[in-house]
C-alpha cells in the first residue's frame, strides 16, 4: 500500500516538472481573453474667445491750465471682443517740462464714480469691467496745484496707456489674454497772477479733545536775566485747567528782527499737573540764581542756549500746541520796545495777573514786588525777586484791594523807618504846625449839600491841609506825627529844582 502511494506522488511531481520544462523550452505564455469596442464622434469644432479693446479720443486736454482753471479730456473705451474684460489707465513716457508735470493732479471718472484722484505722475486707476460690445466713457480732469509763477506757459507731455485683460485674471500683465492702447497727451499751462490769490479755506473746527487757547499760559518771564548774567533767564508755564495737560511736542517761538522764529520744542513725556506750573530754564539749578529745580533745562547746565535767549526789546513769545497743525495757545509781550513790566535794574520778574487776559497786553502783567520770594525761590544772598515754579504775587493785579486789617503786616520795630514826603503845590508857604496827619478820608464838597451840614464839616482850606494815610497801627501814626516837616511853596521848590530831572 505504501509503495503504491509513493509511486503516485513521484508520478505527479514528474508531470509538473515536465510541464515547466515545456514552457521554458518552447517559450510558451499565458493567453488572456476579453471583449473590446470603439465608437467615433465626428464633426467636432473648437475655437478660442477674443479679447479686443479700442480707445478713442477726439480732443486733447483743453483749455490752458492755471491754478484757477481745470483742463478736461474724454476717452471712450470699447470692448470689441467676445470676452468680458477689465480695464484701467496708467501714465508713461513723461516729457516736456517736468516741473509742470510734477504739479498736476488728475481725476479719472467712470460715469459719476471717481476711480482715481491724485498726482499725474504715478497714475494707476482702479480697474472697471467693460462688457462685450460696450463703450465706457472715462472723463479726465486736470488741476494745477501750485501758484508758482515759474510754472506759467509750460507744457507737460505724457502717454495714457489704456490696459485691458480677462476678468478672471487679477491684474494686467499677469496672464491670460490682454490688450493695450496708448494715447498721447499734452497739457499746457497759461498765465496767472498771484497778487490776489483766492482766500484760504476756513480753518477746520478744533475737536474738543484738542487743547484750546489759554488752556496753558506763559505765566512768568525772567527776561532780563539775573545779577549773575543776562543768560540766567527762564520761562514759566501755567496750566489753567483742572486736568493734566500733556505738552509733549509743544513749541515756543519768539520775535527776532521783526520775524517769528523757532525757540524750542518741549520733549516727549512732559506734562503739567492741574493748575500747576512748568519751569523752563536756560541754566540748571546749580548754575542759576534760582533755588528751584527746573522742569526743563534748555542750555548745557552752565552755558546758555542762544536760541532760547529772551529779548530785552521787542519781546514777544508764542506758545503752540502741535497736532495735525500748530494751535496757538498763548502769547506773551506785544513785540514793541522794552517790556514795561519786570525790572531789569533790580532783576524783578514779569508776572501774569491772576486773571491772565490777553498776554500781548501789558495791562495783564505786573512786576514782581515780593521781598519774601527772594528767600523762598532764590539762592542765599540774592536780591532778585520772582516766583519760579510757584503761584505769582497778585497784589500788583489791578484792581488791588488792601487787606481789611493791614496792621498785621506792620511791626513796631519798623515804625521808625517810615518816611513821609510831602510836596506843596500851592503858591504860598504852608505852616507845618497847621498840617494834620489822619487816616480818615476827606469829605468832598457837594453842590446840593445842606448848609447846616456844610457848616458842621471841618474847614478844608490850605492852612489846615490834611495828609490821608492808609490804616496804620497807632505807633506808626505817632511816629509820623512827631517827625519834623518842612514845606516850601511851589515857587521855592521850582527855583531849587534840577532842570534835568524829568521825574518832577
76 neighbors 151 (Cβ within 8 angstroms)? no
Of the given ranges (71-75, 129-133, 349-353, 394-398), which has the lowest mean pLDDT? 394-398
Give residue-wise pLDDT tens across range 249-259.
Answer: 999 999 988 89
Of the given ranges (166-180, 195-209, 321-335), which has the lowest mean pLDDT? 195-209
Residue 209, pLDDT score: 67
Domains of the chain: 53-188 (2.60.40.10), 216-377 (2.60.40.1260), 410-495 (no CATH)
Give residue-wise pLDDT tens across range 427-466.
Answer: 555 555 555 555 454 444 444 444 443 444 344 443 433 4
Give residue-wise pLDDT tens across range 412-428.
Answer: 344 444 445 555 555 55
Q: Where do we find the cell 479730456? A: 73
Q: Supply 299's cell numbers.
A: 542750555
CA 351 to chain centroid, in Å, comes to: 26
Residue 394, pLDDT score: 63
Residue 325, pLDDT score: 78
State the Cα–Cα distance between residues 274 and 460, nearest whole angstrom: 55
Residue 399 region, left (φ>0) first, then alpha (ψ -120 to 50), else beta? beta
Q: Report the 3 state secondary structure along 117-129.
A: EEECCCCECCCEE
State the Cα–Cα distance between residues 119 and 107, nearest whole angstrom: 9
Which residue, among 89, 92, 108, 86, has the nearest Cα to 164 in the 3D structure?
Answer: 86
Of the given ranges (115-124, 339-348, 383-392, 438-447), which has the lowest mean pLDDT? 438-447
Query: Burial, 418: exposed, middle or buried (Cβ in 10 Å; 0-12, 13-18, 19+)?
Result: middle
Give residue-wise pLDDT tens across range 56-67.
Answer: 988 899 999 999
Predicted TM-score (pTM) of this structure: 0.41
141 neighbors 107 (Cβ within 8 angstroms)? yes
In this prediction, residue 194 has a pLDDT band, given cuts at 50, 70 and 90, of confident
Which residue, among 332, 323, 178, 176, has the nearest Cα to 253 in the 3D structure?
Answer: 332
Give residue-wise pLDDT tens across range 275-312.
Answer: 999 999 999 999 999 999 999 999 876 777 888 899 99
Residue 221 has pLDDT above 90, yes or no: yes
Amino acid at each position: 500500500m505504501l509503495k503504491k502511494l509513493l509511486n503516485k506522488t513521484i508520478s505527479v511531481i514528474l508531470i509538473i516538472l515536465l510541464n515547466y520544462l515545456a514552457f521554458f523550452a518552447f517559450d510558451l505564455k499565458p493567453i488572456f481573453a476579453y471583449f473590446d469596442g470603439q465608437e467615433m464622434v465626428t464633426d467636432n469644432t473648437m475655437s478660442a474667445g477674443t479679447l479686443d479693446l479700442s480707445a478713442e479720443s477726439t480732443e486733447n486736454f483743453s483749455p490752458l491750465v492755471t491754478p484757477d482753471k481745470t483742463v478736461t479730456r474724454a476717452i471712450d473705451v470699447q470692448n470689441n471682443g467676445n470676452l468680458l474684460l477689465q480695464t484701467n489707465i496708467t501714465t508713461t513716457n513723461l516729457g516736456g517740462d517736468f516741473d509742470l508735470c510734477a504739479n498736476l493732479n488728475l481725476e479719472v471718472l467712470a460715469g459719476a464714480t471717481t476711480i482715481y484722484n491724485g498726482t499725474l505722475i504715478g497714475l494707476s486707476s482702479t480697474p472697471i469691467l467693460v462688457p462685450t460690445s460696450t463703450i465706457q466713457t472715462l472723463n479726465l480732469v486736470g488741476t494745477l496745484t501750485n501758484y508758482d509763477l515759474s510754472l506759467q506757459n509750460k507744457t507737460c507731455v505724457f502717454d495714457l496707456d489704456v490696459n485691458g485683460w480677462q476678468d478672471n485674471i487679477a491684474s494686467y500683465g499677469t496672464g491670460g489674454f490682454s490688450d493695450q492702447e496708448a494715447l498721447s497727451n499734452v497739457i499746457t499751462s497759461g498765465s496767472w497772477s498771484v497778487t490776489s490769490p483766492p482766500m484760504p479755506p476756513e480753518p477746520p473746527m478744533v475737536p474738543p479733545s484738542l487743547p484750546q487757547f489759554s488752556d496753558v499760559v506763559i505765566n512768568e518771564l525772567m527776561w532780563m536775566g539775573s545779577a549773575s548774567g543776562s543768560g540766567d533767564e527762564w520761562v514759566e508755564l501755567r496750566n489753567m485747567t483742572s486736568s493734566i495737560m500733556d505738552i509733549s511736542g509743544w513749541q515756543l517761538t519768539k520775535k527776532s528782527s521783526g520775524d517769528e522764529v523757532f525757540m524750542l520744542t518741549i520733549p516727549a513725556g512732559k506734562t503739567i499737573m492741574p493748575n500747576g506750573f512748568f519751569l523752563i530754564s536756560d541754566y540748571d539749578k546749580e548754575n542759576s540764581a534760582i533755588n528751584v529745580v527746573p522742569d526743563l533745562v534748555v542750555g548745557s547746565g552752565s552755558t546758555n542756549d542762544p536760541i532760547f535767549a529772551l529779548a530785552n526789546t521787542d519781546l514777544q513769545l508764542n506758545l503752540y500746541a502741535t497736532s495735525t497743525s500748530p494751535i496757538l495757545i498763548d502769547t506773551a509781550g506785544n513785540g514793541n520796545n522794552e517790556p514795561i513790566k519786570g525790572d531789569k535794574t533790580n532783576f524783578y520778574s514779569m508776572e501774569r495777573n491772576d486773571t491772565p487776559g490777553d498776554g500781548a497786553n501789558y495791562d495783564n502783567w505786573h512786576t514782581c514786588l515780593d521781598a519774601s520770594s527772594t528767600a523762598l525761590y532764590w539762592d542765599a544772598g540774592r536780591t532778585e525777586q520772582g516766583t519760579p515754579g510757584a503761584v505769582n504775587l497778585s497784589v500788583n493785579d489791578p484792581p488791588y484791594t488792601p487787606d481789611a486789617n493791614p496792621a498785621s503786616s506792620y511791626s513796631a520795630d519798623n515804625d521808625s523807618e517810615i518816611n513821609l514826603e510831602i510836596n506843596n503845590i500851592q503858591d504860598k508857604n504852608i505852616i507845618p504846625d497847621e498840617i494834620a496827619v489822619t487816616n480818615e478820608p476827606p469829605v468832598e464838597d457837594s453842590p446840593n449839600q445842606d448848609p447846616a451840614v456844610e457848616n458842621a464839616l471841618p474847614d478844608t482850606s490850605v492852612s489846615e491841609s490834611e495828609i490821608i494815610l492808609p490804616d496804620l497801627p497807632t505807633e506808626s501814626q505817632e511816629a509820623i506825627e512827631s517827625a519834623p516837616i518842612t514845606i516850601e511853596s511851589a515857587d521855592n521848590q521850582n527855583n531849587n529844582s534840577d532842570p534835568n530831572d524829568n521825574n518832577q
